[in-house]
Amino acid sequence: MTDSALDQQCVATVRMLAAEAVEQANSGHPGMPLGAAPMAWALWSRFLRHDPAGPRWPGRDRFILSAGHGSALLYALLHLTGYELPLEELKNFRQWGSRTPGHPEYGHTPGVEATTGPLGQGFSMGVGMALAERMLAQEFNRPGHDVIDHHIYAIVSDGDLMEGVASEAASLAGHLNLGKLVYLYDDNRITIEGGTELAFTEDVSLRFAAYGWQVLRVHDGEDVEVIAAAIAEARADGARPSLIMVRTVIGQGSSKAGTSHVHGAPLGREELLAMRRRLGWSDEPFHIPEAVGAHTRQALTRGAEQRREWEGRLAAYRQDHPAEGARLEARLKGEFLPAGWDAALLALDFGGKATATRVASGKALNALAPAVEGLVGGSADLAPSNNTWLTTVAAGRNLRFGVREHAMAAMVNGMALHGGFLPYCATFLVFSDYMRGAMRLSAIMGTPVVYVLTHDSIAVGEDGPTHQPIEHLASLRAMPELRVIRPADAGETVGAWHVALTHAGPTCLILSRQNLAPLGADPLRVAQGAYVVSDPPMGDPELILLATGSEVELAMKSQQALALKGRRARVVSMPCWELFDEQSVEYRESVLPPSIKARVGIEAGASLGWHRWVGEGGVILALDRFGASAPGGEVMKRLGFSVENVVAQAEALLNR
């Protein structure tokens, strides 16, 4: 068989495997795999440096299927090239317990570099990966030692390019000259509702040129060689990211090719049979021609070689640069916290002064950064307000995302997935709304990223309702696998950073704009989620004031005012509901004894979720309305967050 004929056979095999998996599941998206198989094959057979037998080596190229609905394409390639993904898994496509879920899931299937499906996310995570590659290379490469040198590839779709998150990331990728980024655009002119002329007629090529990308075109998406030549040209430009616009036909090879009907539904048995006939294919389901199997599995030997070659490069680097080599290896292994990493953090002294938790967070970050070398991050153009700028280390560890919250969050996901970095990012809490799509992927994938979310309540003040979060605490707490920590003072902020950096998943730090009085508690008690800050000096408590963040100070003052009236209140700080949930029943009942029914929950945010803590005998002082523009202290008082009101509510409870 000629090389070209073998290529055609490989492409056909990918197509048939994907179509059959969808058929077997009676669910899925055949159109994209059928159309994009040649470009995927061109990339995987000619360029992608990967080792199916050892898929996690840091020197590998990264491949992202941003158009995640085409998962069957990726699973076919993974199986054919020898990943731990038996044919049985393709037959179990989209079934309970299989490794072949409907959309690719990171951590679930070997060789899947990112969870994709929500459009635009894969595109943007790739930009984060390319940034991580560049930053690692700049930090560690030495003359004669290009130990970090790999590419980030993706297949992206019309849908990806329409999403705002991808526009933001593309603009930033161009700004940052991320030349290692090579994206193949599956330009099939079809969306779910019909042709792209219905809603997508912009000049994509011109737009990406405006961002500073190299834009290349392949007019025939069936031509593996021409696609390969374009990829080579893209790689040759090290100064600009590249978008290769590959004109394809969705559902190529089926009779519904070129229509939206082939996007998201199985082809049907008959159509599949017809395709088999046209290709001269065996009737055996999930058939893989022998020559194809042998050829595609060369990825194993090629990949093993590439991996060994890179390991050799790493060894040579370690020999010539032992200190850097050791640091690099630790970073690549995800070992970010050397012995004593938290010494400077825990030694922070705020002099007993009232401090905004955003300011305390800035100090914590700067105390951490010298020891935690992988810690990098930045803000969506709010660094001076978010207090996220690192001054204690090289300026290059600060990232500037511009006013692009969604791309920022997706990019830190990409950086965390890439490895070598423990990234954080920042904006106002209210604008977490702009990046929830990416935050959800942090939670699903378990990426260890830190979201620094400041200006956390109506106490923001003058900026008014558009800038005052209300529902955000509740809506973030509702998300599984996401830790939400709202520290009550500088000390708890230190504890919150400690907890965040030792957690193998995403954490939100919810921080105040305004100064908060110190509680004097052990910062590490944050790890318990909630704890008793203060009990009445004499006698057992008859009432519990539960609060988070800035409202703990209000609870403390209210406790004193109540004491003057002979009322015995306990103050509980609840910085993190998720962590409190993880404690033993004994501990939880020691903090919130079932016998004390009189409870006041205090939080300047939505009441949703608080009934759980205050029970039927308690009251909630919260906000189920939007805020207002006025000085922060005044807004707080006007909306009920005053000692007078807490005392009144507590007394009413006790007298009930």
Q: Please count the CA atoms within 13 angstroms of the CA of 386 that sit on its side-chain side.
A: 27
C-alpha span between 404 and 381 (Å, rounded) = 8
444 vs 510, which CB is nearer to a copy of itself?
A: 444
Tell me which DSSP letter residue 86 carries.
-
Set 20, 163, 222, 405: catalytic member = 405
Does residue 206 bind a copy of itself (CB under 8 A)?
Answer: yes
Query: Which residue in the set 381, 522, 535, 651 belongs to the binding site for a copy of itself (CB under 8 A)?
Result: 381
In the list 475, 528, 558, 559, the residue contacting a copy of itself (rule: CB under 8 A) is 475
d(CA 42, CA 48): 9
Shortest Å, Cβ 393 to a copy of itself: 18
Selected from 61, 158, 186, 456, the binder of a copy of itself by CB under 8 A is 158
- How many residues line the site for a copy of itself (CB under 8 A)? 106
The one among 159, 419, 420, 529 contacting a copy of itself by CB under 8 A: 159
Q: Which of 162, 177, 209 is nearest to 67 (CA)?
A: 162
d(CA 469, CA 420): 33
Using CB under 8 A as the binding rule, whether residue 490 contacts a copy of itself is answered as no
Q: How many CB atoms lie within 10 A of CB 513?
A: 22
Is the CB of 372 or the CB of 452 nearer to a copy of itself? 452
Angle, nearest 10°, between helix axes 224-236 and 31-46? Answer: 60
Residue 208 or residue 281: which is nearer to a copy of itself going by CB? 208
Residues 4-33: x/- map of binding to a copy of itself (CB under 8 A)? ---------------------x-xx-----
Question: What amino acid is encoded at 319 in this protein?
Answer: Q
619 binds a copy of itself (CB under 8 A): no
User: Taking the CA atoms of the chain, what radius of gyration do you get in angstroms?
Assistant: 28
CA distance linking residue 117 with residue 105, whole number of Å: 9
Token couple for 245 = 């616009």
Whose Cβ is closer to a copy of itself: residue 433's or residue 535's? 433
Residue 163 neighbours by CB distance under 10 Å: 21
Alpha carbon distance 597, 580 (integer Å): 19
Stretch that binds a copy of itself, among 40-48, 164-172, 348-356, 360-368 (CB under 8 A): 164-172
Q: Indicate whether 96 belongs to the interface with a copy of itself (CB under 8 A).
A: yes
Cα(596)–Cα(420) distance, rounded to whole angstroms?
48
| The only residue of 189, 297, 321, 400 in contact with a copy of itself, by rule CB under 8 A | 400
Which has the closest alpha carbon to 465: 627, 247, 339?
Answer: 627
Question: What is the 8-class DSSP label of residue 87?
Answer: H
- Nearest 5°: phi and psi at 62? -110, 140
Q: Is 209 helix (H, G, I), strand (E, B) or coil?
A: helix
Q: Which of 583, 629, 642, 645 binds a copy of itself (CB under 8 A)?
A: 629
Closer by beta carbon to a copy of itself, 158 or else 489: 158
483's tokens: 């830790």
Smallest distance from a copy of itself to CB 494, Å: 26
- Span from 9-17, 116-124, 284-292, 345-353 in contact with a copy of itself (CB under 8 A): 116-124
CB of 255 to a copy of itself, least distance (A): 20
Q: Is 94 in the site for a copy of itself (CB under 8 A)?
A: yes
In angstroms, give the least distance from the CB of 330 to a copy of itself. Answer: 30
290 in Cβ contact with 284 (< 8 Å): no
Q: Which stretch binds a copy of itself (CB under 8 A): 2-10, 57-65, 334-342, 465-473?
A: 465-473
Active site residue 405: yes
**Of the residues 50, 60, 276, 404, which one makes contact with a copy of itself according to CB under 8 A:** 404
Does position 441 interact with a copy of itself (CB under 8 A)? The reply is yes
Residue 202 found at the interface with a copy of itself (CB under 8 A): yes
> What is the residue-wise DSSP string for 407-473?
HHHHHHHHHHHHSS-EEEEEEEGGGGGGGHHHHHHHHHHT---EEEEE--SGGG-TT-GGGS-SSHH
Whole-angstrom distance, CA of residue 351 vs CA of residue 340: 23
Q: With contacts defined by CB under 8 A, name the span among 7-15, 537-545, 567-575, 611-619 that binds a copy of itself.
A: 611-619
Q: Which stretch binds a copy of itself (CB under 8 A): 46-54, 89-97, 136-144, 506-514?
A: 89-97
| 481 forms part of the interface with a copy of itself (CB under 8 A) | yes
Of 13, 81, 252, 379, the residue at the interface with a copy of itself (CB under 8 A) is 379
Does 463 contact a copy of itself by CB under 8 A?
yes
Determine the Cα–Cα distance for residues 190 and 196; give it in Å rounded to an integer: 5
- Binding segment for a copy of itself (CB under 8 A), chosen from 78-86, 319-327, 402-410, 544-552, is 402-410
Q: How far is the CB of 365 from a copy of itself (least distance, A)?
A: 16
Residue 613 contacts residue 630 (beta carbons within 8 Å): no
Site for a copy of itself in 443-462 (CB under 8 A): 443-444, 461-462
CB nearer a copy of itself, residue 82 or residue 120 = 120
By CB under 8 A, the residues from 57 to 76 that bind a copy of itself are 68
Piece of 171-179, 418-426, 502-510, 516-524 that binds a copy of itself (CB under 8 A): 171-179
Which residue, 141 or 629, is less far from a copy of itself as judged by CB? 629
Answer for the pair 407, 160: CB distance below 8 angstroms, yes or no.
no
Closer residue to a copy of itself, CB minimum distance, 235 or 436: 436
Give the start-end residues of each E strand in 323-413.
355-356, 375-379, 398-400
Report the length, in residues, of the chain: 656
Cβ proximity to a copy of itself, 46 vs 400, nearer residue = 400
**Minimal distance, residue 414 CB to a copy of itself, in Å:** 16
Euclidean distance between CA atoms 300 and 631, whole angstroms: 65
Q: Which is nearer to a copy of itself, 186 or 342 (CB)?
A: 186
Pairing mode of beta strands 422-428, 375-379? parallel
User: Per CB under 8 A, which region of 142-150, 239-247, 396-404, 508-516 contacts a copy of itself?
Assistant: 396-404
Which x/- pattern over 522-561 shows residues binding a copy of itself (rule: CB under 8 A)? ----------------------------------------
600 φ/ψ angles, rounded to the nearest 5 degrees: -120, 115
How near is the Cβ of 12 to a copy of itself at its closest, in Å?
25
385 makes contact with a copy of itself (CB under 8 A): yes
Given 98, 214, 252, 413, the residue binding a copy of itself (CB under 8 A): 98
Pure H helices in 164-297: 164-175, 204-211, 224-236, 269-279, 290-296
Which of 110, 285, 293, 464 binds a copy of itself (CB under 8 A)? It is 464
Q: How far is CA 559 from CA 523, 556, 604, 644, 646, in A?
A: 21, 5, 18, 11, 9
Task: Confirm if 424 and 398 have CB atoms less than 8 A apart.
Answer: no
- CA 79 to chain centroid: 27
Of 4 and 466, nearer to a copy of itself (C-beta) is 466
Residue with tokens 């179509």: 19
The CA-CA-CA angle for residues 109, 110, 112, to 5°, reads 75
Annotated catalytic residues are: 405
